[in-house]
Chain A
Amino acid sequence: MNGAALRGVSVAGRAAPVALLAALPGLVFTAGYDHLAYGVGLLAGVVLAGLLIAPRLAEATAPTIASAVRENFGAVAALVASVLIAIVALPLLVADFALVGIVFERGLGIAPVFAVLGMLALVLLLGLMRNARTLAVLSAIAWLLLAASILVPLVLIAFAVEGGATVPVTAYGLLMQDLQGIEETLIERGLVDFDTFSAHAAPFIRLIERDVFALVITLALGVAALPHLASTLAQSRDPAAARFTGAWTALFVMLLLISGPALAVYAKHAIYSAIANDTPLASLPHWLDAPLAAGVARVHGTSLYLFEQVVWAAQAGSQTAATVADALSAGASGSQWQSLDPDVQQVMFAAAAQHIVDPQAGSAWDVYRGTVLPAAAAAAGNDGAILTQSGLVIEPLGFLLIVAGLTGFPAAVTGLMALAFATAALALSASIVRSVANIVPDRAGSRAQTLGGIFSGLAVSAIAAGVAVFVTMDLVTLVVSALAIAAAGLFPTLALGLAWRRATAVGVIAAMIAGAGVTGYYMAGTQFFPANFYTTWSPLSNASEYAIEEFETLIVEAREAETEEERAQASAALEDLARGSATRAGLANWAGIDSASSGIFGALAGLLTLIVVSLVTPSRRRRAQ
């Protein structure tokens, strides 16, 4: 291995957002082919970062985005770029901190506050240290741990399934053929719900083609423009070396990205086999124990974790099932509780109250399995009380716990995964904080951190840590949104602005503002004022005639409401309809593109603005030839 390969391992350990890497097997499990787009988009982004952008940064005095933009376009452009870097860094850091919080809380029972605070201290130490060598070594270790955390379970499960040693990453084709057979059996026997089920290899069922297109572009351009990635690749200050480091990085990231989907297929085969074999809910497979206990998998909307939360609420003084909702309102448990059938809520609350009075009668597990699960199954119309596809909901991180259970060594594998994600999140966060600290120029040209840089790094990471403790947002959406802003705001400037000699400072500034503005507007519009957004852009929406009719009925209802309360109700329903939900697309959209994937609009707007404004403003840029 040469130097570029070693540097590649180190960059690969912090190239991709850890929350996305951790979620990848679970995402591919949920949507099969469509979610393979995450892997393809990420890798294309790493290739672009290494070959298109890093060589440009390597030519600047300091290999950072702010420095390259300042030298080519002046201080104002650099300031705008710096603000964008901070905006992109914040949600990425929040996702990292939150991931570590979840891993430590659900895996080891440590309160997320302590995990996040410990992580914050380490991130600041590593990110603001002058010497980058420690971080580079840590990142290489992070890659090795990530690879181990995917490959060890993969080899163990493949060994159990195939009854011998194989190369699981290429050998799972035959298993996929088998999986297809199981899926057909499930469909024939009516055991699947087509709202949530799609055959694993069938393309464009969970996402439409246009959305996949937008997602791949957003991920690719966003990863390419990640503030820390290109500058880490360019650290050698030599464009030729930066290119080869980029290629090696792509190789090592690729190894992670092709192993994740393999893991998804092995575990999906086991899960669907259990469903096809009519597994009774009374004797759930052992690999569902840990995810149900951690609340990252649910059977008919319930989990042991949720039950224990209800017990806690009852102990804290909730007298009826209705008041439990208030006690649980913070966090994900509240919405899970509220989506339960009222009958199930009653049964769960009664069982919790009984469990407090008489804890000797059975463990929480026994009560959950014996009382709560049958009631939930009955409410869902699952009379046979067997495991069904629609009844079993698995979150991406819960999927990893199932994987760990399938290996036969759940504790060891869970520990390995937790260690790998925590290390990788630490390496990535420290790199991001370093890139934020680097936005402030150092006058003497030394590579020491400036006071302003240290302050920016401190501020951004402290805010991120604070938000991470409370964030309930889906981490994948959070990360993709950050990438969308990077794609929209930074990519046009980095890819075209630095390469095109006619690009002007005004053009670059306008491009950054327009790009980030369009994507920011789309995200805010579709999330916070969706009804208004739809009314403004209704010709561009892909809403069905039925949905439009419903929307117009609600508008009339809101207008003609007699009391304030009725009006508020109708308006709320209007916003919900326009916003959409996890399972139903809203009306507020352009051509049906998901708000997280809206980087495509911003990037397009940014590129066009850059070209047009640069052509109409006088070229003042003089580059040394």
Chain B
Amino acid sequence: MNSFLGADVIEIGLGFLLVAGALVLLAGAMGIVVAPSGVDLFPLFGVIGTALVFAAGVLLVASGRTRRAIAQHPERRHALRSTRLTIVALLLVAALAIGLFLSPGPFNLVRVGGFPMGYYFAAQGALVALVILAFWWAARQNRIDVEEQGP
């Protein structure tokens, strides 16, 4: 488990890279860092895109650290796996209920069955997805409980 380049090291490294990337994007947008030859990537990603890159980075770091913690403290496997699932599920709830709701603009350019797509997500899509997420979350946590309580 303590190999020099384990999955945990790769995840943490990649996560930090993504977080740093998001921060550089943000700094460029705020004018703290001047991008070379006027390349400003922020408009391409937008606020939501940058936030997603940042969240993905944090998630990877957390995942890598949990992996490492599980390897070092096998007796805390149950708690660590549950915590990781809770954090992922909470981020998904936030992405569906807040992220999607606050960024209907790009989706509204497309129509689905007459609905502007951003409106459709807010009125139905996000709600259906939240329910699917709830069932997945319940099943996943219950499986962790069963697996970790077994002999």
Interface residues of A (CB under 8 A from B): 33, 36-37, 39-41, 43-44, 47-48, 50-52, 55, 169-177, 201, 203, 209, 212-213, 216-217, 220, 239-240, 243-244, 246-247, 250-251, 254, 257-258, 261-262, 499
Contacts and interface: CB of A to CB of B under 8 A. Distances in A.
A589 B91 CA distance: 29
Interface in B100-124: 101-102, 104-105, 108, 111-116, 118-120, 122-124
Given A247-B131, A250-B134, A217 B98 contact: yes
A258 B114 contact: no
Contacts of A36: 101, 119, 122-123
B133 A47 contact: yes
B142 A173 contact: no
Of B102, B122, B123, B124, most buried by chain A (CB within 10 Å of CB) is B123
Nearest to B138: A243
Given A43-B130, A243-B142, A51 B115 contact: no
A47 B93 contact: yes
Contact of A173 (B90, B96, B108, B112): B112
A203 B105 CA distance: 8
Nearest to A220: B97
A258 B125 CA distance: 9
Contacts of B105: 203
A341 B111 CA distance: 45
Contacts of B123: 36, 39, 258, 261-262
Given A36-B101, A51-B141, A212-B101, A176 B134 contact: no
Contact of B128 (A201, A254, A499): A254
Contacts, number: 119
A203 B104 contact: yes
B118 to A, nearest CB: 7
Given A39-B123, A203-B104, A177 B138 contact: no
B111 A177 contact: yes
B114 A176 contact: yes
Given A51-B138, A176-B119, A243-B141, A41 B114 contact: no
B131 A251 contact: yes
B98 A51 contact: no
A257 B130 CA distance: 12
B84 to A, nearest CB: 13
17 contacts: A40-B101, A44-B93, A169-B124, A173-B113, A175-B114, A176-B115, A177-B111, A201-B116, A203-B118, A216-B97, A243-B141, A244-B138, A246-B134, A250-B130, A250-B131, A251-B131, A251-B134
Contact of B127 (A43, A171, A201): A43
Nearest to A45: B97
Interface of B: 86, 89-90, 93, 96-98, 101-102, 104-105, 108, 111-116, 118-120, 122-124, 126-128, 130-131, 133-135, 137-138, 141-142, 145
Contacts of B126: 40
Nearest to B137: A51
A203 B109 CA distance: 13
A39 B101 CA distance: 11
A246 B123 CA distance: 21
Given A212-B102, A258-B127, A247 B118 contact: no
A48 B93 CA distance: 9
A258 B124 contact: yes
A120 B125 CA distance: 39
Contacts of B116: 176, 201
Contacts of B134: 47, 50-51, 246-247, 250-251
Given A51-B89, A213-B102, A247-B138, A240 B145 contact: yes
Contacts of A203: 104-105, 108, 118-119
A177 B130 contact: no
Of A36, A174, A175, A257, most buried by chain B (CB within 10 Å of CB) is A36
Contact of B101 (A177, A216, A254, A261): A216
A203 B106 CA distance: 12
A43 B131 CA distance: 8
Contacts of A240: 138, 142, 145
Contacts of A172: 114
Contacts of A254: 127-128, 130-131
Contact of A209 (B97, B102, B108, B122): B102
Contact of A239 (B101, B128, B130, B145): B145
A334 B98 CA distance: 40
A40 B112 CA distance: 20
A103 B148 CA distance: 52
Nearest to A243: B138
A170 B113 contact: yes
